[in-house]
Structure 1
């Protein structure tokens, strides 16, 4: 049984009759998984998870998910249908598991409900991908997200993203390229496709670092990536240029 099947079975077994549908999203439906891509899954439920179910999901995902050449990271998002339909911003997420939170989950409490602006992007990709793993087509459970809220969701996470620039350079650069692309085109693309679009619109001096981030994304796992000192020196000027372009588009939206 592969990781996706394990994840779907875990959600079904833990959530039970409260589960309305489970959907694939992210890179898998936007154009294909890169070596380090997450397996992104959304579950829609009738009501909020209780404590037992939260802990059971975390325990199961700690076993299924990983960051090795043979085990992909799994990102599971759970939403209560009534919190996102009818749509409003910011949406409330009921549960979020991702590998970047592993240490926290191993030593602390399971994830709780709270505002989750990124759900605007997740639901848009779920609806566009239309890939049920269990349940009806997503359009039967979810409302479309207005473009203005896609813009808001895209830019609200930038400060937190920039805090990780030194430790997670590849992902930050690619995510900023995706934010820029989404604001400019109204489309949510894979990280490599967003980087392709961004490089075509950048001046030559700001392309090399994004090209390197894109190549790392397509060819290697996080633990194998290497950044030269010359490229590191170009990261901040590149980021400043992209942020200026994002801010310009945000003000026009």
Structure 2
């Protein structure tokens, strides 16, 4: 079952965007084994009409109140809005109409309002919508086209440079996402972060396993996040994961 404030997000979307809202769904951890202590609440929405700047600014202002920044007791929200005409018929890269994520909170608080832009790594999200975890509207297959496997592979690779740039700031999530990317390319399946880490740990050299194992344990709430002793091995572990991605990349 979705967390209680998922319904609040549906009301926020419909109250701000009106009848343009065609469908609102869950994806990510909520559909891949369940939310973990550090999981975002991932909400993709499909709309009929392009959004306006005032609408997007209203969404940002309201989400700042209900999404939890790091260290808070509220669940962080990642909200992505796509216009149906930008993803049906499918083309790559897809366009994201609106994006909210806690890693951008400082920008939002300075008054930055996200607008439409191409977003290659939106493709895996749209593929995961096949889980049909509906909060509002029809099955997602009624609103968006299937994502070709070739575009899925291109998309998961496209985000790797940005991930590496965030390694120092968001170590746990970057390592787990790299494991996800490697797993997806090697197996064709999109797995939860802890399941992807399980897969990758079996393929890591012994010296890299403690780093990824710690990221997985923190994600599951089994350990407190402390990279002090493991930090010297973080970069080399990330580099090995990237080599795994590169070996599988199209």
Indicate whether 1:181 and 2:183 are aligned.
yes
Q: Which structure shows the higher helix fraction?
A: 1
The aligned residue for residue 38 of structure 1 is: 40
Change (3 A) 1:148 1:44: same
CA distance in 2, matches of 1:179, 1:28: 18
**Match runs of 1:1-253 below 5 Å:** 2-67=4-69, 68=71, 70-127=73-130, 129-219=131-221, 225-229=225-229, 231-250=230-249, 253=250
Report how far residue 220 of structure 1 moved.
Answer: 6.7
CA distance in 2, matches of 1:173, 1:99: 18
Check the 8 A contact 1:36/1:220 in 2, yes or no.
Answer: no
Instruction: State the number of aligned residues.
Output: 247
Q: What stretches of structure 1 of length at least 5 have no aligned partner?
A: none
Check the 8 A contact 1:27/1:37 in 2, yes or no.
Answer: yes
Check the 8 A contact 1:24/1:132 in 2, yes or no.
Answer: yes
Under a length normalisation based on structure 1, what TM-score does the superposition of the two structures give? 0.94
Under a length normalisation based on structure 2, what TM-score does the superposition of the two structures give? 0.95
CA distance in 1, matches of 2:109, 2:151: 33
Check the 8 A contact 2:176/2:196 in 1, yes or no.
Answer: yes
- Provide the secondary structure at the position in 2 that maps to 1:241: helix
CA distance in 2, matches of 1:236, 1:30: 27
CA distance in 1, matches of 2:235, 2:227: 14
Q: Deviations over 1:71-126 (max 9, x none)?
A: 00011100000101111110000000011111111112311000011110110111
Report how far residue 243 of structure 1 moved.
Answer: 1.4
